[in-house]
Amino acid sequence: MQLKDIKKEGIFTTLYYELTWKIGWEQLLSILDVVIRTDFQEKGFQSLAVGMIAGTTPQDVTRDVLANGGDIRRSAFAKGESGYAVLTGYSHLMKVTMRIIVWNQSDRFILQLADDRAIDKDGKHSYDKYADSIEILAHIDYAKKQPAAVF
């Protein structure tokens, strides 16, 4: 994953990343699942929304995920396929409220942080370490959920 750009507006910092490769729907779900299970577990996630194309109003699927104990893949929305997902919650690792936006069939990933002054002193290395660990854990999660290859 490569950090392509950082923009600051008031208390918000937006980081634009390029993933190692384009991801599909199942890999997108793995990213969301990993963030919820490993980072947002302390205070839970605030919301999850999915949409078809950029610029359209996303559908809030938070209740669906919560009704399934936080298991994204058991949620009704996961059975279909969407164009993008927006996950918001409090990051236990970064100690800030954040929003993650990830697109299906794309290599784009956005991380938006609210009031990152506490971690800002460490610069982009803190952001990169976080984003890289999420990508790696998501690839591992995705691989575990795939059927074994037959040779």
Specify the pTM: 0.79
What pLDDT does residue 11 have? 85
**pLDDT given for residue 49 in this prediction:** 95
Say if strands 84-91 and 59-60 run parallel, antiparallel, or are unpaired. unpaired
Q: Tens digits of per-residue pLDDT, 86-111?
A: 999 998 877 888 999 999 999 988 98
Tell me the CA distances in angstroms from 80 to 7, 26, 73, 75, 103, one per residue in order.
33, 10, 10, 10, 15
First-last CA distance in the chain:
31
> Which residues in the chain land under pLDDT 50?
124, 148-151
Give the model's pLDDT for residue 117.
66
> Length of the chain, please?
151
pLDDT of residue 43: 81
Longest dimension (CA), the chain: 55
